[in-house]
Amino acid sequence: MNYKIAVLPGDGIGPEVVREAVSVLETVAGMHGFSVTTEEGLVGGASIDAYGKPLTDSVLRLAKESNAVLLGAMGGPKWDGLDYPVRPERALLGLRQELGLFANLRPVKLFSALAAASTLKREVVEGTDLLVVRELTGGIYFGQPKGVSRLPDGTERGVNTEVYTTPEIERIAVVAFEAARKRRKKLTSVDKANVLEATELWRKVVSRVHREKGYEDIHLEHMLVDNCAMQLIRDPKQFDVLVTTNMFGDILSDEAAMLTGSIGMLPSASLGGKVGMYEPVHGSAPDIAGEDKANPLATILTVALMLRHSLDQSQAAERIENAVEAVLNAGYRTIDIQEKDSRLVGCREMGRFVRERMAQL
């Protein structure tokens, strides 16, 4: 079996972490009797520099013709002054929309070896294992009307619209209930139903899906987003699966990332269409780009998600995850998760250690 993977390294540390992740992917493929063919494309700021726009038709076509897409990171101060329609991040939104990727899965699992790296007490975070299911193609990021306009008195007004339809909520709810069924059978739906009518509808539809589509075996609770933000810090182990809107999911998943010690540890999968897209949660970190300081583990773990969700290679995914855990248990750390008495390594060396550990499993 051969799989075609579209590789979009992006900007900043993207090319560095993607390089290590692709090497891990090729290594594990050889171990499990399948092969991968990778083809690179420019997106984000790199595409703007080369072609004047963040996402070209050829890259979009490459993505659609592949079995999966591996994405690095986009953006940086270099492109901050551009108009919104041509900023690097528009490529990310464009890919999600064109590929029909309405469901973003962000697993938040604390490796025991990193419990001390979290800013919270060990007894609070140890054992944390939750999944954020974020709606990805609706809500305030895509709602119309939007934009900045000048008023008659010379002042300006910025508008973004939070909007959800019943079908959009139903389909993400089903994804979340199905995920919860494969885990500990608890789903927390996060909204702001006491203030925002759009999320009042969200709560109503999620409740109906739970009641009418055969998910009575799943324990459903509703939680306001401000309380959820507090509870993630107070007692993260109470959560199994969280499902929420595009904006709330964006914010809460980054907050949850810090429970693990570093945002450099979190992978994500964007699903819903025929082609899944996989990317680390972290940004482009231009301040350390090219210095071999980046943590590649989130991108390597993202490859494990790709293997599991798009390539049907769960044993290979498990080998990668076990290798990452073994490397951490051995005390190797990049600078973002460095601890006393740990061994500091760079991006390339961390990738090499993961590949070596895979061979020992």
* Residue of 116, 112, 96 lying closest to 104 (CA atoms): 96
∠ CA 285-93-316, rounded to 5° = 70
| Active site positions, annotated | 141, 192, 226, 250, 254
Are β-strands 68-73 and 276-280 bridged in parallel, bridged antiparallel, or unpaired? parallel
| Structure token digits, residue 152 | 């008659």
CA 340 to chain centre: 29
DSSP string over 277-332: EEEESS---GGGTTTT----HHHHHHHHHHHHHTS--HHHHHHHHHHHHHHHHTTE
Residues 6+ apart with CB under 8 A from 145: 159, 161
C-alpha separations of 233 from 105, 219, 230, 239 in Å = 20, 22, 5, 11
Contact between residue 135 and residue 249 where contact means Cβ atoms under 8 Å apart: yes
Burial code (b: 16+ CB inside 10 Å, e: under 16) for 179-215 equals bbeeeeebbbbbbbbeebebbebbbebbeebbeeeeb
346 CB burial (10 A radius; 0-12, 13-18, 19+): middle
- d(CA 304, CA 311) in angstroms, rounded, equals 10
Are β-strands 129-135 and 241-244 bridged in parallel, bridged antiparallel, or unpaired? parallel
| DSSP letter assigned to residue 357 | H
Are β-strands 332-333 and 343-344 bridged in parallel, bridged antiparallel, or unpaired? parallel
First-to-last C-alpha distance (Å) of the chain: 22
Residues in a beta bridge with 159: 147
